[in-house]
Chain A
Amino acid sequence: MVNKKIVLAALLVIAAVFMCGCTSDGGTDTPTATTVAPTETTPVATPEFLKIATTTSLDNTGLLEDLKDRFEKDHDVTLQIIAAGTGKALEYGERGDVDVLMVHDRAREDLFMDNGYGINRRVFAYNYFMIVGPESDPAGIAGMTPEDAFVTIMEQAQTNPDVVMVSRGDSSGTHAKEKAIWASAGYDYDTEVVGSGEWYVEGGQGMGATLQMANEFQAYTVSDSGTYLAYKGDIDLVPVVDEGDVLLNIYGAMMINPEKYSYVNSEMAKEWINFLITPETQQVIAEFGVEEYGQPLFFPSLGNYEILGVSQEEAESPIP
């Protein structure tokens, strides 16, 4: 009899869990009731959700969580943040699986816009990439330009097993920047860098995880300054090279073209992007992390469009 009671209790727990599960998901678990006409033009996206695909750096630092809370306070919407890295985020955008992209790879963003997938890009923040590595700097690259540093790391690694480099290896914005530096240093990335030896490790993970991995290996890696600062307390890598024009890291937000995918939540997407470039939000971005890390993780784009090399409109004009 005791056992029957146990089973009964288990079933009650199950039933209770089912009920809280249903309420906490706001009824979105009954898609069959809301989706009737399976045509391309039927707006099936639940209006109170806004799906944002983002680079891992914006998410791993906690900035996006902060902005999300502020935005949701004033808007009747739930932001669903999918932290994926720029490459994956662009793929989600091209497939029409999200409403907004927040990424950092100008070249691929431009292509995305030119192909008609993205519209209304606004630049909302920037910081810098840096090459971080062990304090002992086994390759001796401190003070070099990013390109010279890469060449030196590769040369030193041939003879010195302590010289290791961890790459994101995940077609993220940071990975794209790393490839750009290799190209600018005169290497063909796919044939001369990838698979060139044990010194080059492709981690295949987000920025935070890659920093952790580089720390375990006491290796060099390319990081955006924001994520590095956010992780600085847990790792003992230091910035070795942090100067050079090529290291500028610009974050852009754009909405998915509703002419391409009519079901996207373009009204709220517009609200969100405009929210990002308001002076108030720009102030929040400028101050984010200062208290905890002693310096800002991101710089606001407001007033800095010349540094970023973009038009004033792209940095400051709200989407009409």
Chain B
Amino acid sequence: MYEIVEGFLTAIHLIVTFDPDVYEVAFRSIYITLSATLIASIISIPIALFLAFRTFPGKRTIINLVHTLYALPTVLIGLVVFLMLSRQGPFGFLGLLFSPTAMIIGQTILVIPIIIGLTYSALVAMDPVIKDTIISLGANYFQFMASILKEIRFVVYATVAMAFGRAISEVGAAIIIGGNIRGYTRVLTTSIALETSMGNIEFSMALGIILLFIALVVNFVMTSIRREAD
């Protein structure tokens, strides 16, 4: 008990004194996860629109697959991306293994199914009257898509925020792909794992509190978006 209290106090001290080590790791986490979430959004939202408004053979299977991939184990992503980016792998020539870029790739793969799946669900659940109205107003293809996205924008924001949360709290893939290099690929979760294994509980707790704080901020932004929507 004493250890937890002491750890908590030290954690607060590290945070309020802007300990450079703590903040460096936190900012890298945010940077990598934000990049991955943005890239995944750019890829996923058009795919969700395509799935929602086109019919083609095998569509049901693809949607089922996307839902299954929600639960994609992160260590499996780690292993696959490792094999792809390792020098002996098909993309080895890029020399990307153990880099922040590689971690962004891993996290992007992790959250793509989530963004596709949730956006698709929102699109399907949309009132068909809205679609008909947009079409009847004479919208072309891109105007149609833009209007639809505008209609479901709050769901998209919430989805992206959720994807961000999933990616920033992930540790398995991050440690396999990034290698946990200090000052380069060490992020909040891998750092917590390492510091705990080294017995630096206070430092781990400081990082854990920051991770929690980031989650709270994301949740706060989501809530204010929702409030605006209502």
Is the Cβ of A96 less than 8 Å from the Cβ of B180? no
Is the Cβ of A31 less than 8 Å from the Cβ of B228? no
| A82 to B185 Cα, complex, angstroms | 10
Tell me the smallest distance from the CB of A226 to a CB of chain B, in Å: 14
| A96 to B85 Cα, complex, angstroms | 11
Say yes or no: is B106 at the interface (Cβ < 8 Å to chain A): no
Is the Cβ of B28 less than 8 Å from the Cβ of A24? yes
| A31 to B97 Cα, complex, angstroms | 11
Please indicate the chain A residues that have their CB under 8 angstroms from the CB of B225 in the complex: 3, 7
Give the contacting residue for A7; candidates B32, B94, B184, B221; CB below 8 A.
B221
Interface centre among B34, B92, B97, B179, by most chain A C-beta atoms within 10 angstroms, is: B179
Give the contacting residue for A31; candidates B94, B181, B199, B220; CB below 8 A.
B94
Give the contacting residue for B87; candidates A24, A42, A261; CB below 8 A.
A261
Please indicate the chain B residues that have their CB under 8 angstroms from the CB of A208 in the complex: 197-199
Say yes or no: is A21 at the interface (Cβ < 8 Å to chain B): yes
Is the Cβ of B31 less than 8 Å from the Cβ of A6? no
How many Cβ-Cβ contacts under 8 Å join chain A to chain B? 104
- A39 with B93: in contact, given A17-B31, A24-B24, A29-B100 (CB under 8 Å)? yes
Say yes or no: is A184 at the interface (Cβ < 8 Å to chain B): no
**Which residues 2-55 of A sit at the B interface, judged by CB distance below 8 A?**
3-4, 6-7, 10, 14, 17-18, 20-21, 24-25, 28-29, 31, 35, 38-40, 42, 44-46, 51
- A44 with B95: in contact, given A17-B31, A81-B181 (CB under 8 Å)? yes
Say yes or no: is B219 at the interface (Cβ < 8 Å to chain A): no
Tell me the smallest distance from the CB of B195 to a CB of chain A, in Å: 10
| A24 to B220 Cα, complex, angstroms | 28
Please indicate the chain B residues that have their CB under 8 angstroms from the CB of A206 in the complex: 197
Size category of the binding interface on chain A: 35 or more
Please indicate the chain B residues that have their CB under 8 angstroms from the CB of A263 in the complex: 87, 95
Residue of B nearest to A22 (CB): B31
Tally of chain B residues near chain A (CB < 8 A): 39
Say yes or no: is B96 at the interface (Cβ < 8 Å to chain A): yes
Say yes or no: is B133 at the interface (Cβ < 8 Å to chain A): no
Is the Cβ of B181 less than 8 Å from the Cβ of A82? yes
Indicate with 1 or 0, residue by residue over A85-99, a CB within 8 angstroms of chain B CB atoms: 000000000011110
Tell me the smallest distance from the CB of A211 to a CB of chain B, in Å: 9
Please indicate the chain B residues that have their CB under 8 angstroms from the CB of A42 in the complex: 93
Indicate with 1 or 0, residue by residue over B103-126, a CB within 8 angstroms of chain A CB atoms: 010000000000000000000000
Give the contacting residue for B88; candidates A28, A95, A98; CB below 8 A.
A95
Tell me the smallest distance from the CB of B224 to a CB of chain A, in Å: 5
Give the contacting residue for A97; candidates B98, B101, B224; CB below 8 A.
B98
Please indicate the chain A residues that have their CB under 8 angstroms from the CB of B227 in the complex: 3
Please indicate the chain B residues that have their CB under 8 angstroms from the CB of A45 in the complex: 95
Please give the residue numbers on chain A whose beta carbons come within 8 Å of chain B beta carbons, in ascending order: 3-4, 6-7, 10, 14, 17-18, 20-21, 24-25, 28-29, 31, 35, 38-40, 42, 44-46, 51, 60, 65, 78, 80-84, 95-98, 205-206, 208-209, 212, 231, 234, 261, 263
Q: List 10 A-B contacts (CB under 8 A).
A: A21-B100, A31-B96, A40-B93, A42-B93, A60-B198, A82-B98, A95-B87, A96-B87, A205-B197, A208-B198
